Structure 1
Amino acid sequence: MSTQMDTEKARASAWFRDLRDQIVAAFEGLEDSHAEGPFSDQAPGRFEVTETKRSSEDGSDAGGGLMSVMRGGRVFEKVGVNVSTVYGELGERAQAAMAARKGLPGMKDDPRFWASGISLVAHMQNPHCPAVHMNTRMFWTPHGWWFGGGSDLNPCLEYAEDTTHFHGVQKAHCDKHDPAHYPRFKEWADEYFYVPHRGRARGVGGIFLDDYNTGEWEADFAFIQDVGRAFLPAFVPLIEKRRTATFGQSEKDAQLVHRGLYAEYNLVYDRGTKFGLETGHDANAVLMSLPPMAKWV
């Protein structure tokens, strides 16, 4: 028999899929409209869509999703937009991490989980265009549920006005729910997206939140939807402004070195990467965030 939480899970999963569809359409629209400037003589890029599957340890179905990747477009060198809904039982390492970080000691007795979300990373052709990351998700266990996600901008060539715009859109969407949200979640992003071994942030920040549960599912779901809705108006105008700019080898080198920093962070520190690999999700989908080319000095 379906429960209220089953209905809420289904709504969240459907929303993440709808957001995926909106973003894919918008990005292919950018490819189509890029008629002048670098790479405009190439064919417009299109997403290749692959179904992903997750299997439990006994081989039974444990959910999956869609991996949508565009490579070698006019605007996007590589961009992935993934959605998934997975479920099953957490392994011992994941149980221990969940119990320690979220204070859920009951995970050992009942390790069931359900998770759904969207994850996006875009690496751009033109070094003047910033790379970007975004994700939103819902996680459930018998011991509690929560939302998480956010987005952050990762330019190799920084423009103060672009940073101001990106953060301004995030703030406007956060302020609809609580004026305290933006400063709190901006600070969290600054801490989370810091690369300790390099002594610097991986980009110019954004917002980040996890373990978000006020006890009011409808209000929390409305907020995480606005986190997702903020993405396109925060990011697309920056690409429309920068994609026709000319560049040389020095700018391209700066982009490739910055991508190296991005790869280091995602492989060493990112929680989503660790969780995806530890719970048996499709490795190609988990590692979709890695850039197509990078360099180290």
Structure 2
Amino acid sequence: MEENIKKYNLFKEKFPQVRENVELSQFTAYKIGGPADLYLEARDSYDIPEFVEKALELEIPYYILGGGCNIVFSDVGFEGLVIHNKANGIEIHGSRVVAESGAILGVVIAKAREKELGGIINMVGLPGTIGGAVYGNAGAHGVEIGDFVESVKLFDKDSGVKEEGPEYFQFSYRSSILKKTHEIVLSVTLLLPPLDQNDAALEVVKFRAAKQPKGNVAGSFFKNPRANESAGFLIDKAGLKGTREGGIEVSLLHGNWLMNTGNGTQKNVVDLARKIKKEVYNQFKIELEPENIVIDERGNKVDI
């Protein structure tokens, strides 16, 4: 503990704006998470490498927090530094949209639409940041963010800042190479087609608004196991809507959404997710894979 205090004090000398013992629940969709030992906001994407390099130098564990829509923190908190990416600048030059990684995906879509740019309009309603969207190759209604990536600026703890084209990311269903390399997205350049005024964009917006629940929920908890078969359908078919563990409940409106009804804990999320996974496998012999990330107080991934 004394060693941690010494490290933290050295970090605070470098970055006096850092805050201590900040509750993480306020920044996440599930409203779950205890205090971070250290909490620092990045208002410019190029602040992130500086923060990370100092944390590495002092051997302080760190976690980059974006929109908070797919993360379940420990109720104990996080023993280290949480860097909250709030770098949200957006520029549009012709058909190119350049967004800092902390920009909210919905805002990027809205800004593009103002300039009569389409492509990503089908992703209206998806939560999170553009950086997180690239990391997980977010998508909806047959469209994925990877389809429109022209280039991405990344920070690698070994090689520094670099820029890569779309082929580097090996985009696949809800995945990219970043899940293996753990490089940090700093900014994204999208190349978008003109907006088709006759497309079904408004119907997409109406559909998502009607079918997906409001409240303390994040995005879909599980990945769809196959392109033509949704996790939500399987969970519904298994009779699991409304199933509850403590304060966490499977939404009655959408089977793949877990809701915090007010006093839910990380353990409740884990127990309910494991129950869902087991029951779906028992009934259909299909193994559901989590899309949300659950970590313990040291940043280790919790298996579902």
Common fold by TM > 0.5:
no
**TM-score bracket for this pair, using the shorter chain length:** under 0.3
TM-score under structure 1 length normalisation: 0.27
TM-score under structure 2 length normalisation: 0.26
